[in-house]
Amino acid sequence: MAKPKIASDWMAGCAGCHMSLLDMDERILAVAELADLRATPITDLKEPDASGVDVGVLEGGINNTANEEVAHKMRQRSKILVALGDCAVFGGVPALRNFCGVQAALQRAYLEAESNDAEVKIPDDPELATMTRVRALQEVVPVDVYVPGCPPDADVIFHVLSELAQGRKPEVKGELLHWH
């Protein structure tokens, strides 16, 4: 029997969820025995191939059109889609700007913050914040499994991935959840 394929990617956020994935340490080897790890922080592949994967894991909120494209592509190529971390589940920290607006948040972060550089300006980067509000992943594509946390604990990620790799739908019970 072929091992299920697992791929992951991240969007608007800090990539802390992927660091928690790496915090599984040797347990990543246990998941690797059960599954074929495709595009993940420990492989060189940047995205799942067009043939698709069994489990797609997305971290982060939808901040710009590039994030939206990543979400649609991962959903199309995945049988099961996992929303990893608070940013993917409900917008998390990036969504705080939704309450004050993009320009006000950028002005506060770049122009009003203390700095030793008198030449500081808001970067002209389309990846920074092109949408008027950060959206949770399920606002853009259907999600099958939610793993909250900022970042989620490595034990929870291990539980979810090993259950999915064995063909079971994981239950993420309250006692498994811890916020750091």
Beta strand pairing call for 145-147 and 78-84: parallel
C-beta separation of 111 from 121 below 8 A: yes
Annotate 114-126 with DSSP letters as a single string.
--S-TT------T
Among candidate residues 57, 52, 65, 72, the one with its CA nearest the CA of residue 2: 52
Among candidate residues 36, 47, 29, 51, the one with its CA nearest the CA of residue 2: 36
Q: Which residue has the tokens 């800090």?
A: 14
Annotate 67-121 with DSSP letters as a single string.
HHHHHHHHHHHEEEEEEESHHHHH-TGGGGGGGT-HHHHHIIIIISS--S-TT--
Mean pLDDT for 155-159 is 85
Q: Which residue has the tokens 């500081």?
A: 120
Q: pLDDT of 14-67, one tens digit each?
A: 667 766 666 666 767 777 777 777 766 555 445 556 678 899 889 888 888 888
pLDDT at position 166 over 90: no
Partners of 61 in beta bridges: 12
pLDDT at position 96 over 80: no
pLDDT at position 147 over 70: yes
The predicted model scores a pTM of 0.78
Cα–Cα distance for residue pair 106/37, rounded to 1 Å: 37
Domains observed in the chain: 5-93+133-176 (3.40.50.700)
State residue 81's pLDDT score: 94
- Higher pLDDT: 120 or 161? It is 161
pLDDT at position 80 over 60: yes
When the pLDDT of each residue in the chain is averaged and rounded to a whole number, the result is: 78
C-beta separation of 51 from 5 below 8 A: no
